[in-house]
Structure 1
Amino acid sequence: MSAQPVDHVGFRDPGEDPAAIFEALPPSHRVQFRAEYDEALEAAHDLARFKQVQTLLRQWRLRALAYARPGYEEAVQDALQERTEMFTRYTPPEWEDRV
């Protein structure tokens, strides 16, 4: 039997497909994604700015992946409220004098 990747409740990586990214996002983030995507598409008519679309899709793909992770919202709230005791920090032994 070989090891299989952990599948977070059926979540699939949307890749850089705008429709898949839109569907993967929580509803609370979809309006912002759509506005930024439409703006990037409009800017892409200028070939010098075409890469903006690719960059935007990569950024939102990563956001969708982060939002789908279990415990993401709790981690954000912990960070905003400076609850550092909630974080586990691992320091490799060879780094002891460096950190």
Structure 2
Amino acid sequence: MSAQPIHEEPDDRDPQVIHDRLPESVRAKFLTEYHAAVDRSHDLSGYRELRELLKTWSVLAAAYAKPDFHQRYQDVRDGVGEYVSMDEVFSRHEA
């Protein structure tokens, strides 16, 4: 009897997964913020900031993946429609 490989979904907070899911237009911004947070995470107090940054960008990557993201973003800016707060979005993505 041979062992079957276990298929695991990618970790949404993995920096490589986030990077690959983001549109090319925002990848440089993500990498700049990520590298800065990694540098600060060498200090123990900076680790939480790194985790928060990955959580935020994970949610953003999911949002960018939606086909109507740009229209919804413009609607929010224009005050059109009803939307949940970012705090609510983050609470739904808690690990």
TM-score under structure 2 normalisation?
0.69
Residue correspondence of structure 1 range 52-91 to structure 2 within 5 A: 52-82=49-79, 84=80, 87=81
AA in 2 matched with 1:41: V
TM-score by length of 1: 0.66
Count of residue correspondences: 75
Q: Could you say what the CA RMSD is over the residues aligned between the two structures, in angstroms?
A: 2.1
Tell me the CA shift for residue 14 of structure 1: 5.2
Q: Does 1:46 align with 2:43?
A: yes
Conserved? CA contact 1:14–1:61, under 8 Å:
no
> 1:51 deviation in Å?
1.2
CA distance in 1, matches of 2:50, 2:39: 9
**Amino acid corresponding to residue 20 of structure 2 in structure 1:** E
Larger Rg: 1
SS of aligned partner of 1:50: helix
Q: Deviations over 1:10-37 (max 9, x none)?
A: xx86511101100000111101100000
Structure 1 unaligned residues grouped into runs of 5+: 1-11, 90-99
> What amino acid maps onto 2:24 in structure 1?
P
Determine the structure 1 residue equivalent to 2:88.
none
Q: Which runs of 4+ in 1 moved over 6 A?
A: none
Distance 1:72 1:27 in 2: 15
How high is the sequence identity, in percent, across the aligned residues?
32
| Larger fraction in helix | 2
Q: Distance in 1 between matches of 2:82 and 2:49?
A: 36
